[in-house]
Amino acid sequence: MTTEVDYYEVLGCARDADGATLKSAYRKLAMQYHPDKNGGCKDHEAKFKAISEAYEVLKDPQKRAAYDRYGHAAFRNGGAGGAGGHADFAGFSDIFESVFGEFMGGQRGARQPRRGADLRYDMEISLEDAFHGKATEITVDVSGTCDTCEGTGAKPGTMARTCGTCGGAGKVRAQQGFFVVERTCPTCMGAGETIADPCGTCRGDGRVDKTKTLSVNVPPGVDEGTRIRLSGEGEAGPRGAPAGDLYIFLHVARHPVFQREGTTLHARAPISFATAALGGEFSIEGPDGETHVVRIAPGTQSGREIRQRGAGMPVLQGRGRGDMVIHVDVQVPTRLSPRQRELLEALREVEGEVVEEDPGFFSKMKAAFGG
């Protein structure tokens, strides 16, 4: 019976030694026991092979992880790949997967069910719905679970059988040189099962086309592009696999008065020349259904912004509201009645042709025309 020497002891290193320490120890020992430097001594030659074998395993993170867990049993079939040895890479692949399986999606043979596809539904709502929120229903056409076979794909009274090609794993492996290639099983197409007598309704797929009516709750404050997820309401998975999700994308219809910018509402308000000069007020109804009074100060110029605090859109899943901003647009009449003309002529006689003269205006005009 051959005694198996610990690889770390062969190199004279601790089990937590890093790669640089292992490499340094290997070089030192290899120079000391190399056959060319010891006249072909058999003992030194055996020692050199043991050093090379130990370093060949410990320098590779994957092989080292397998060795730390299983010891020499990890390389029982064919040696450790050191001097004169050839590692059994197919066996090592199984060991490696058992060590790191939880990080690589599970161990071999643990078939993961193929989940159904996610679906998208576009819904248009009004600005008022975006403000108040909305409870509604939608109708969607999806692939749902077959009621006849309850999603198994097999004819009622029969059962699916474990695939004889992949053993239920849904995948098969083939060794190509030093690598192990994994691909979908060609017999069961990844299902892990085969059906000898398929369901007559779904023809073995476990799914049929259905029309479903779903309830949707739109929360207050949603905006263009807001996404609502309905878990498990997407396409059903094949043969009883979990269903995907349904994603509802919201689109807010254009409003005749307001333009939205986050939680701020913007509106353009045309006012008369007289109102701009003398002041006044007007009312505007917001998407909240309330009437907001906007006050115009005397002498208001066109383009001025009047902000109504807290009259905008609500914060999505939060507290408070944004503002409403009124953009004033002073309208100059293009057609005057005789009475309006008479009054404006009188105003011009009282104040002069230029009511508010820009001090620099005429000086700029004289400079432009040379004098």
Whether 146 has a binding-site annotation, put simply, is yes
Whether 41 has a binding-site annotation, put simply, is no
Tens-digit pLDDT profile for residues 306-333 = 999 999 999 998 889 999 999 999 988 8
Same domain, 135 and 242: yes
Query: 325: how many CB neighbours lie within 10 A of its CB?
Result: 18
Q: Which pTM was predicted? A: 0.58
Checking if the pLDDT of 65 tops 70, the result is: yes
23 closest CA partner among 65, 62, 63, 51: 51
Tens-digit pLDDT profile for residues 166-225 = 888 888 887 766 677 888 888 877 778 888 888 889 888 888 999 999 999 999 999 999
Q: Are 31 and 44 contacting, i.e. CB atoms less than 8 angstroms apart?
A: no
Same domain, 226 and 266: no
Whether 202 has a binding-site annotation, put simply, is yes
**CATH value at residue 57:** 1.10.287.110
Whether 166 has a binding-site annotation, put simply, is yes
Quote the pLDDT of residue 81.
42
Checking if the pLDDT of 277 tops 50, the result is: yes
Same domain, 30 and 62: yes
Same domain, 42 and 85: yes
Same domain, 147 and 55: no
Same domain, 78 and 16: yes
Q: What is the mean pLDDT of residues 283-311?
A: 93
**CATH value at residue 273:** 2.60.260.20
Q: Are 246 and 117 contacting, i.e. CB atoms less than 8 angstroms apart?
A: no
90 occurs within a structural domain? yes
75 occurs within a structural domain? yes
Q: What is the mean pLDDT of residues 345-371?
A: 62
310 occurs within a structural domain? yes
Kind plus residue range of the DSSP H or E element containing 135: strand 134-145
Whether 13 has a binding-site annotation, put simply, is no
356 occurs within a structural domain? no
367 occurs within a structural domain? no
Q: Which two tokens stand for residue 109?
A: 């043979």
Checking if the pLDDT of 48 tops 90, the result is: no
Same domain, 152 and 248: yes
Looking at the 3D structure of the chain, how many domains does it have?
3
307 occurs within a structural domain? yes
Separation of alpha carbons 153 and 167, rounded Å: 19
Confidence at 138, pLDDT banded by 50, 70, 90: very high
Checking if the pLDDT of 105 tops 70, the result is: no
Average pLDDT, the chain: 81
Same domain, 13 and 39: yes
DSSP code at position 304: -
Same domain, 243 and 298: no
309 class by beta-carbon count within 10 Å (0-12 exposed, 13-18 middle, 19+ buried): exposed
* Domain carrying residue 305: 258-332
19 occurs within a structural domain? yes
Checking if the pLDDT of 88 tops 60, the result is: no
Same domain, 126 and 246: yes
Q: What is the mean pLDDT of residues 83-109?
A: 43
223 occurs within a structural domain? yes
Same domain, 203 and 325: no
